[in-house]
């Protein structure tokens, strides 16, 4: 087996590159994917999102090491083990990130990745549908393969949340993916005609009709490197080990957990760590596996005095009905991820752009699908966006079959605690506004008893959950920076013919959910790989709150 380009991983970036690299018909491409098919209602039905990310069939099943600042809890780290990767098991929330996030990337050594540079790629990937709710058409794309839609927001609680944000003195925004991220408004989702619009549906499946693209189900063990050049990938399938040859390049797009693992197994990483596991060093890159970042969040839950929440469907009959409506008509509750209102705010005066995100949900429920016992309720997921805490992905052994060691080191920076307490208090303030008066019951979580800093800290330690946004472990930066793993063209520094392109290359974590920027990386990396000129930069100015130095709102 051989091809011009061999891509490891069919996820958000991998599927995107498979489509773009095979587009002109001049190159042969093989995509290696360990997971199975994404067909079936649990993946394709948006409202079923809590199922696939908790199923061994679709998820790699990673767990963190005991987190020292969270009372030694091991947190789950779902990563897609299925065609479409994590875009097939994620919450389908679509957030580009703030313009300043990408400007920060460029300033930290990722030249050519400022917002002006990446905006044309966000536009190229999108087919944006505002659903008649307004928004910034000139900042958005219309002809791309990725459908981006908005929920219907039929439930009155979605409006109450946005109104309450405004009543608390915060901004409104019609389109947080446009000029103005800051404020409260509609949330966007990668859903189309009632189905999850993963990169498998958007990019990979249409591209697989081309004769020059092949998908191979196998386990990628390591990259084969000869004389400093990547020449193929060692894979296992059907109990046999074989080599898939790459005539031009090997591209790793295996996630922020598996991409650094593959590099290290291939001899690229911190020399002493590789030697510990008997791996011959090809390139000493101390940054491989380091710089691990994530978003942590809390679910602030409030009982509802009116029986209007999704809880009334939270029983066998309700789920069966929603499932049947979806299956036969692609209509009803099953067609939305139910995250239909959002908020982005700044934590304090002196913060230039938002650093707190809200997802609002008209039911009190956990990500693992367990509803709050109290019955009717609503909740906001809230968390700080720019924690200084950093963790690492390291090898547990030289055996490719062994899961790596993942330590996020959450809440290791003292500022994290102050930021999280503020998140709880500002959410309470929003839920306390007039817009919620006719719905607001008792607070379920953290509960009215938790008020002092110590009480809130204890709640955070016990209940903070990952938002499942790991990134940063193969950091992009300048080639002379020893902590960089890839250069600004996603080329692995110190090895020829090898690139990494997925969320692992993010120098710093962007604001919001990571699927959109991961797809953007796949789009932009494709142009680098093909040696095409970049799309022309678009110099636009994001809305920055004129009061940012004086106030948080």
Single out the residue of 101, 33, 491 nearest to residue 244, CA to CA: 33
User: Is 90 labelled a binding residue?
Assistant: yes
Distance CA 148, CA 515 (A): 12
- How many beta carbons lie within 10 A of that of residue 136, not counting itself? 18
Alpha carbon dihedral 461, 462, 463, 469, in 10-degree steps, equals 60
Q: Give strand pairing partners of 486.
A: 476, 492
Alpha carbon dihedral 215, 216, 217, 218, in 10-degree steps, equals -140
Distance CA 310, CA 290 (A): 41
User: Is 91 labelled a binding residue?
Assistant: yes
Single out the residue of 76, 326, 366, 294 nearest to residue 196, CA to CA: 326
* Exposure of 339 in the CB half-sphere (CA atoms within 13 A): 27
Does residue 469 carry a catalytic annotation? Answer: yes
* SS (HEC) of 177-213: CCCCCCEEEECEECEECCEECCHHHHHHHHHCCCCCE
Q: What are residue 146's phi and psi, to 5 degrees?
A: -95, 105
Distance CA 11, CA 228 (A): 27
Residue 191: partners with Cβ closer than 8 Å, 6 or more residues away: 46, 92, 147, 149, 197, 335, 336, 337
Q: What are residue 79's phi and psi, to 5 degrees?
A: -140, 135
DSSP 492: B
Single out the residue of 147, 145, 150 nearest to residue 130, CA to CA: 150
Residue with the two structure tokens 């379920």: 444
Active-site pick, 98, 295, 381, 469: 469
Distance CA 337, CA 342 (A): 13
Count helices and strands in the chain by DSSP H and E runs: 13, 25
CA distances from 463 to 70, 296, 303, 467 (A): 9, 10, 18, 12
Q: What angle do CA 343, 520, 200 make, to 5 degrees?
A: 100
DSSP 421: H
- How many beta carbons lie within 10 A of that of residue 366, not counting itself? 15
Q: Are 190 and 196 in contact (CB under 8 A)?
A: yes
What are the catalytic residues? Answer: 469
Residue numbers belonging to the annotated binding site for FAD: 82, 90-93
Residue numbers belonging to the annotated binding site: 82, 90-93
């Amino acid at each position: 087996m051989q091809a011009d380009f061999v891509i490891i991983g069919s996820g958000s970036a991998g599927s995107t590159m498979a489509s773009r690299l095979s587009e002109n018909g001049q190159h042969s491409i093989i995509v290696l994917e360990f997971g199975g098919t994404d067909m079936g209602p649990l993946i394709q039905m948006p409202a079923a999102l809590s199922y696939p990310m908790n199923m061994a069939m679709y998820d790699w099943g990673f767990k963190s090491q005991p987190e020292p600042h969270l009372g030694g809890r091991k947190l789950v780290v779902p990563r897609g083990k299925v065609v479409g990767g994590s875009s097939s098991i994620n919450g389908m929330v679509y957030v580009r990130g703030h313009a300043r996030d990408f400007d920060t990337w460029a300033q930290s050594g990722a030249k050519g990745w400022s917002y002006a540079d990446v905006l044309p790629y966000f536009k190229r990937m999108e087919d944006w549908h505002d659903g008649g709710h307004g928004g910034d058409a000139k900042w958005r794309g219309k002809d791309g393969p990725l459908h981006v839609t908005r929920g219907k927001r039929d439930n009155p609680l979605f409006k109450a949340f946005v109104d309450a944000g405004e009543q608390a003195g915060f901004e409104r925004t019609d389109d947080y993916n446009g000029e103005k991220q800051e404020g409260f408004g509609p949330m966007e989702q990668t859903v189309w005609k009632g189905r999850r619009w993963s990169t498998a549906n958007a990019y990979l499946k249409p591209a697989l009709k081309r004769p020059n693209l092949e998908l191979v189900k196998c386990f990628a063990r390591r990259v084969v490197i000869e004389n400093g050049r990547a020449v193929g990938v060692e894979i296992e399938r059907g109990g046999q080990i074989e080599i898939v040859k790459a005539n031009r390049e090997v591209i790793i797009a295996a996630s922020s957990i598996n991409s650094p693992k593959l590099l290290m197994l291939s001899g690229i990483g911190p020399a002493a760590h590789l030697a510990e596991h008997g791996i011959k060093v090809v390139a000493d890159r101390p940054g491989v596996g380091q710089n691990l970042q994530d978003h942590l969040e809390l679910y602030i839950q409030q009982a509802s005095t009116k029986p209007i929440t999704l809880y009334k469907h939270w029983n066998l009959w309700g789920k069966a009905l929603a499932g049947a409506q979806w299956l036969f008509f692609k209509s009803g509750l099953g067609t939305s991820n139910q995250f239909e209102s959002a908020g982005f705010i700044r934590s304090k005066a002196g913060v230039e752009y938002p650093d707190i995100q809200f997802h609002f949900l008209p039911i009190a429920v956990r990500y693992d699908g367990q509803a709050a016992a109290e019955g009717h309720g609503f909740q906001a997921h809230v968390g700080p966006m720019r924690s200084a805490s950093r963790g690492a992905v390291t090898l547990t052994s030289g055996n490719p079959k062994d899961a790596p060691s993942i330590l996020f080191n959450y809440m290791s920076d003292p500022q994290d605690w102050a930021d999280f307490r503020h998140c709880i208090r500002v959410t309470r303030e929003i839920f306390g506004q007039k817009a919620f008066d006719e719905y607001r019951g008792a607070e379920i979580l953290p509960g009215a008893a938790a008020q002092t800093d110590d009480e809130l800290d204890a709640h955070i330690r016990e209940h903070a959950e990952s938002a499942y946004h790991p990134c940063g472990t193969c950091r992009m930066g300048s080639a002379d920076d020893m902590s960089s793993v890839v250069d600004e063209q996603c080329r692995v520094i110190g090895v020829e013919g090898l690139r990494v392109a997925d969320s692992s290359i993010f120098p710093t974590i962007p604001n919001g959910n990571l699927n959109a920027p991961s797809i953007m990386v796949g789009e932009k990396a494709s142009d680098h790989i093909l040696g095409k000129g970049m799309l022309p930069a678009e110099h636009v100015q994001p809305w920055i709150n004129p009061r940012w130095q004086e106030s948080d709102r």
